[in-house]
A and B are shown apart, each in its own frame.
Chain A
Amino acid sequence: MEDKIKKVSIIISKGSLVDVYPGLIMANGARMEGIEANLFFTFFGMDAIIKKRMGKIKVATVGNPGMHMPSLVGILPGMSAMATAMMLKTMDKLDIPPIPEYIEMIADAGGKLFACKATVDMFKLKKEDFCPQVESIITVGGFYEMAAGGQIIFT
Chain B
Amino acid sequence: MPQKQLGGATVDVDAEGFLMNTAQWTREVAAAIAREEGIPELGPAHWKVLEFMQKELKENGAVPTIRKINKTGIVSTKELYDLFPGGPAKKAAKIAGLAKPVGCV
Residues of chain A touching chain B, judged by Cβ–Cβ distance below 8 Å, are 25, 28-29, 31-34, 94-97, 105, 108-110
Which residue in B81, B85, B86, B105 is a CB contact (below 8 Å) of A94? B105
Please, what's the 1-or-0 string for B66-97, where 1 marks a CB less than 8 Å from any CB in chain A? 11101000001110010001111110000000
Which residue in B66, B87, B103, B104 is a CB contact (below 8 Å) of A105? B66
Which residue in A31, A34, A105 is a CB contact (below 8 Å) of B70? A105
Cβ–Cβ < 8 Å partners of B54 in chain A = none
Residues of chain B touching chain A, judged by Cβ–Cβ distance below 8 Å, are 65-68, 70, 76-78, 81, 85-90, 103-105
CB distance from B81 to the nearest CB of A (A): 6
> Smallest CB-CB separation from B68: which chain A residue?
A95
Query: Please, how many angstroms separate the alpha-carbon atoms of A29 and B105 in the complex?
Result: 6
Query: Please, how many angstroms separate the alpha-carbon atoms of A33 and B86 in the complex?
Result: 6
Which residue in A25, A34, A110 is a CB contact (below 8 Å) of B104? A25
Cβ–Cβ < 8 Å partners of A109 in chain B = 66, 77-78, 81
Determine if B87 and A95 form an interchain contact, defined as CB atoms under 8 angstroms apart: no
Which residue in B67, B78, B88 is a CB contact (below 8 Å) of A97? B67
Cβ–Cβ < 8 Å partners of A31 in chain B = 81
Cβ–Cβ < 8 Å partners of A33 in chain B = 87, 90
Query: Please, how many angstroms separate the alpha-carbon atoms of A97 and B70 in the complex?
Result: 12
**Given A25-B104, A25-B105, A95-B67, A32 and B77 touching (CB < 8 A)?**
no
CB distance from B75 to the nearest CB of A (A): 11
Determine if A108 and B105 form an interchain contact, defined as CB atoms under 8 angstroms apart: no
Most buried by A among B67, B88, B90: B67
Determine if B104 and A29 form an interchain contact, defined as CB atoms under 8 angstroms apart: yes
Determine if B81 and A108 form an interchain contact, defined as CB atoms under 8 angstroms apart: yes
**Given A25-B105, A108-B77, A109-B77, A32 and B85 touching (CB < 8 A)?**
no
Most buried by A among B68, B76, B89, B104: B104
Cβ–Cβ < 8 Å partners of A95 in chain B = 65, 67-68, 103, 105
Query: Please, how many angstroms separate the alpha-carbon atoms of A152 and B96 in the complex?
Result: 34
